Amino acid sequence: MTTQTRSASSRKAPATSKALQQKILHHLHTTQGTYPEKASALAWWEATAAAINEFVMAGLTDTQKTHSRYDTRAVNYLSMEFLMGRLLSNNLHNLHLFETTDKALAALGQNLTDILEQEPDMALGNGGLGRLAACFLDSLATLNYPAVGYGIHYEHGLFEQHFRNGRQIERPDDWREYGNPWEVCRPESVQQIKLYGYVETVYEDGRARKVWHPGRNIKAVPWDIPVVGYNGANVNILRLWESRATDFFDWDVFNAGGYVDAQIEQAEAEAISKVLYPNDETEAGKELRLIQQYFFSAASLADIVRRYQRAHGDDWTQFPKLVAIQLNDTHPAVAIPELMRILIDDKDMDWNHAWQLCHQVFSYTNHTLLPEALEKWDLHLFEKVLPRHLELIYEINHHFLTEEVEQKWPGDDGVKSRLSIIEEGARRMVRMGHLSVIGSHRVNGVAEVHSELVKSDLFPDFHALWPHKLTNVTNGITPRRWLKACNPRLAELIDRHASKDWPVRLDKLQKLTDLADDARFQNAFMKIKHENKEELADVIKALTGIEVDPGAIFDIQIKRLHEYKRQHLNLLHILALYRRLLENPDHDMVPRVFIFGAKAAPGYRLAKDIIFAINKVADRINNDERVGGKLKVVMLPNYRVSLAEKMIPAADVSEQISTAGKEASGTGNMKLALNGALTIGTLDGANIEIAEEAGEDNVFIFGLTVDEVKALNSRGYNPYDYYLNDAELKAVVDWLDTDYFTPGQPGALSSIKHSLLDGGDPFLVLADFRSYAEAQLKVDARYRDRKAWARSAIINTATMGKFNSDRSIQDYVDRIWKLKPYPRDNA
């Protein structure tokens, strides 16, 4: 299409390595104030980033000029999390400057790989939801869609994880300790955000109006991070808001003793953007978290409205034509009443007109069905922090219930209480999911099965009321970071055997299926996997001291630690293998290394106990001569984006073993399969679509289906039925409750057994154990047939085209955002 050819053909000639060398030296001298003989690796990284920034910033200004010249419709992606990871490698790849920079640095006696390691991860997110936002920004820029990401400029991102005696210890993440070369502060776009106070009703010209007298005023300072599209495409902006105290204006008060109070006020204001809440999929209901949500939503809306009015003044007719706002989960849902407040209170618009604009602009993505993750705010807390917004929510609710619901189900109070934004009960609550559905014109789930469950189980009445509102957009991942950059050997092999534009046309990998049975291609593919495993083995050795054999199966489970993700199912199976080896030292199995990466929310006791158990079991097994090197267990500390980039290319087996119906989509599953790992997984989330694409022969599916889970739960699940009827299962569960793995500390791991038996095993670990163990036997058998394994691995890589986040973004554009691409002028 035209967008592709236009930007590709008119791209400026790439820089030579000589020219880059000069730029890097220049920045080493003039921005770092040092010289090659003395410069630290960090200084080299800073100088390289500064050199590359010249290209980044040129693209940024061209793109922003183009957007304002054509008055483009844009999507504003509101998300509390953006898990960007490292940016230098990404920017080099997207600008096609990776090789040139490698050469330039080599000529300066430096090694690019080492320099890339200097960059701290930008870990402003917990897991899947935050990384999805980052992949989407990459795709939006690559496809030349006008888009702004809006979020929070956390001083501390997700905590650093350490292990002490096998237990997780958290330390604050300090990603900006030495500054951040990628961000630009924009003081000219500061916003003032109000909180607390009370609402007064004023009568004017016989008409009542509401006046909010806020109790607090906070400054929102924007930091812009350029997002570079692939192929010299557009450079969009990720705008992150930092909270500051408002400038103190009354010097008399200040001098008359306000000095200390002003300092306290400053600390309180700065607390808002201080730290990312580390709870993935649980809502703590904390006041500061609500303030964070409002702070960034309100600052972003003010920014959007200011940008719109700069071009259109008070003519609101174009607003829904130019503005789309995507709510990444319900975290920014308060943006809905905030836009109503702006239009009604500040711009003097009537209710119906305001609602009509509002509702056309918003859309909402649901990422979970887990009840503990569905946000509800205590009504009194909400009223204290945002009194005017609560009134507006009441009014939204009133219109909705008395007009729409009453029309559809006249006189039905049951349906009204189910659909109301306000949940009645001992504690009245504001349901953010309901607010998001009512305030949006589209609501999407993130994989086919998840979106069907959103319709049938989560929001069935809304679905009956508005049959076209609920839709699906299956998640995706950017193949630039998750194949080209992280797995250069495989990328190069693919370059030679498939169309070279696979990084933007990932479905072209299909061509590799023709080579799935080709012995030479199989050997080349498996040789690369082996080399990647050697590299990971070095990382494992460096981080843990554990030696692993790259000839063994590398079996990887990487994701947040959560009961529903069932790392403990994996652990029970490891114990079963260990037991088989102890009972029969000649037990025939392909040597296997089980590798985990997972952070637990600091307050999630059982998740932390599972980490402890994995570490303790690892200690015991790795140091047991009797297993004869056939079994190793590794838990890598501080799992994060940059570590994922080293683990994923080295995986043979991808563990995707959530209880069916609980994992909305998963995206690690896509990254691992794209890099040639075979999935062992349940029919959950996007696993189902991965199996459809790769073919059931090339994935190992096990366990209860969504329907079987529902049936079992309604029959009444009793974990003892499985525990007492499977001797091996009973043995390994009991084993965990001895002091075998924690010498001298009997019962140190008993919480796991307890949750699986007396705790009712809410995620059906015991019910799926046998089926899982049998699927693992099939994995073992397939690996012995090297050609069959290579074939399956190749087919996995070849068939993951659907999971390109460019496809996800195109789905959003077609079904929800209706954007047009605008390649930048001057490209």
Catalytic residues: 367, 559-560, 565, 667, 671
Instruction: Give how far Cα 282 sits from Cα of 278, 297, 606, 677, Å.
Output: 9, 20, 14, 30
What is the 3-state composition of the chain as percent helix, strand, coil, each rounded to the nearest 5?
Answer: 50, 15, 30
Minimum Å distance from CB 573 to ligand Z57?
22
Per-residue contact string for residues 612-651; x = within reach of ligand Z57 by CB under 6 A = ----------------------------------------
622: Cβ–Cβ under 8 A, 6 or more apart, which residues?
546, 632, 633
Position 652 contacts ligand Z57 (CB under 6 A) = no
Question: Which of 60, 225, 446, 641 is close enough to bind ligand Z57 by CB under 6 A?
Answer: 446
**Of the two residues 132 and 512, which places its CB atom closer to ligand Z57 in the complex?**
132
Position 367 contacts ligand Z57 (CB under 6 A) = yes
**Of the two residues 373 and 493, which places its CB atom closer to ligand Z57 in the complex?**
373
**Of the two residues 329 and 689, which places its CB atom closer to ligand Z57 in the complex?**
329
Position 592 contacts ligand Z57 (CB under 6 A) = no
Per-residue contact string for residues 230-269; x = within reach of ligand Z57 by CB under 6 A = ----------------------------------------
Instruction: From 262, 243, 153, 240, select the one nearest 193 (Cα to Cα).
Output: 243
Position 128 contacts ligand Z57 (CB under 6 A) = yes
CA distance 161 to 484: 28
**Of the two residues 698 and 808, which places its CB atom closer to ligand Z57 in the complex?**
808
**Of the two residues 367 and 376, which places its CB atom closer to ligand Z57 in the complex?**
367
Minimum Å distance from CB 84 to ligand Z57?
15
Q: How are beta strands 442-445 and 323-328 bridged, if at all?
A: unpaired
Question: Which of 59, 127, 476, 823 is close enough to bind ligand Z57 by CB under 6 A?
Answer: 127
Which helix (H) or strand (E) segment is 352 a member of? helix 351-361
Tokens representing residue 728 in the block:
């091996």
Long-range (24+ apart) CB contacts under 8 A made by 694-701 are 694/792, 694/795, 694/796, 694/799, 694/800, 695/795, 695/799, 697/792, 698/792, 698/795, 698/796, 698/799, 699/796, 700/775, 700/776, 700/778, 700/779, 701/775
Position 337 contacts ligand Z57 (CB under 6 A) = no
User: Near ligand Z57 by CB under 6 A, which window of 451-459, 481-489, 545-553, 658-666?
Assistant: 658-666
Question: Which of 363, 638, 667, 776 is close enough to bind ligand Z57 by CB under 6 A?
Answer: 667
Minimum Å distance from CB 802 to ligand Z57?
15
User: Near ligand Z57 by CB under 6 A, which window of 50-58, 436-444, 665-673, 770-778?
Assistant: 665-673
**Of the two residues 224 and 684, which places its CB atom closer to ligand Z57 in the complex?**
684
Instruction: Answer for the pair 618, 598: CB distance below 8 angstroms, yes or no.
Output: no
**Of the two residues 131 and 608, which places its CB atom closer to ligand Z57 in the complex?**
131
**Of the two residues 363 and 522, which places its CB atom closer to ligand Z57 in the complex?**
363
Q: Can you give 79-147 as a three-state secondary structure string?
A: CCCEEEECCHHHHHHHCCCHHHHHHHHHHCCCCHHHHHCCCCCEEECCCHHHHHHHHHHHHHHHCCCCE
Minimum Å distance from CB 562 to ligand Z57?
8
Position 664 contacts ligand Z57 (CB under 6 A) = yes
Position 281 contacts ligand Z57 (CB under 6 A) = yes
Neighbour count for residue 414 (Cβ, 10 Å): 9
Question: Which of 32, 94, 567, 665 is close enough to bind ligand Z57 by CB under 6 A?
Answer: 665
User: Near ligand Z57 by CB under 6 A, which window of 218-226, 319-327, 366-374, 728-736?
Assistant: 366-374
Per-residue contact string for residues 503-522; x = within reach of ligand Z57 by CB under 6 A = --------------------
Minimum Å distance from CB 754 to ligand Z57?
25
CA distance 297 to 389: 13
Which runs of E-coded beta strand occur in 157-234?
Answer: 160-164, 167-171, 184-185, 191-195, 198-204, 207-213, 216-228
Cα dihedral value 379, 384, 387, 389, nearest 10: -60
Minimum Å distance from CB 446 to ligand Z57?
4
Position 666 contacts ligand Z57 (CB under 6 A) = yes
CA distance 239 to 223: 6
Number of residues in contact with ligand Z57, rule: CB under 6 A? 19
**Of the two residues 242 and 281, which places its CB atom closer to ligand Z57 in the complex?**
281
CA distance 518 to 198: 73
Position 436 contacts ligand Z57 (CB under 6 A) = no
Minimum Å distance from CB 595 to ligand Z57?
21
Question: Which of 183, 663, 693, 761 is close enough to bind ligand Z57 by CB under 6 A?
Answer: 663
Position 224 contacts ligand Z57 (CB under 6 A) = no
Beta-bridge partners for 555: 594, 653
Beta-bridge partners for 244: 219
Tokens representing residue 638 in the block:
């501080």
CA distance 533 to 662: 31
Q: Give the length of the chain.
A: 827
Residue least distant from ligand Z57 (Cβ): 128
Long-range (24+ apart) CB contacts under 8 A made by 67-70 are 67/146, 67/822, 68/311, 69/825, 70/822
User: Near ligand Z57 by CB under 6 A, which window of 617-625, 643-651, 659-667, 797-805?
Assistant: 659-667
370-429 residues near ligand Z57, rule: CB under 6 A:
373
Question: Which of 46, 121, 183, 280 is close enough to bind ligand Z57 by CB under 6 A?
Answer: 280
Minimum Å distance from CB 16 to ligand Z57?
41
Question: Which of 160, 224, 329, 655 is close enough to bind ligand Z57 by CB under 6 A?
Answer: 329
Position 475 contacts ligand Z57 (CB under 6 A) = yes
**Of the two residues 533 and 562, which places its CB atom closer to ligand Z57 in the complex?**
562
**Of the two residues 280 and 303, which places its CB atom closer to ligand Z57 in the complex?**
280
Which helix (H) or strand (E) segment is 363 a member of? strand 362-365
Instruction: Answer for the pair 544, 743: CB distance below 8 angstroms, yes or no.
Output: no
Beta-bridge partners for 147: 75
Instruction: Answer for the pair 497, 511: CB distance below 8 angstroms, yes or no.
Output: yes
Minimum Å distance from CB 568 to ligand Z57?
18
Position 685 contacts ligand Z57 (CB under 6 A) = yes
Q: What angle do CA 532, 537, 539 make, to 5 degrees?
A: 100
Position 570 contacts ligand Z57 (CB under 6 A) = no
Instruction: From 457, 341, 353, 455, select the one nearest 390 (Cα to Cα).
Output: 341
Binding residues (CB under 6 A) for ligand Z57: these are 126-129, 132, 280-281, 329, 367-368, 373, 446, 475, 663-667, 685
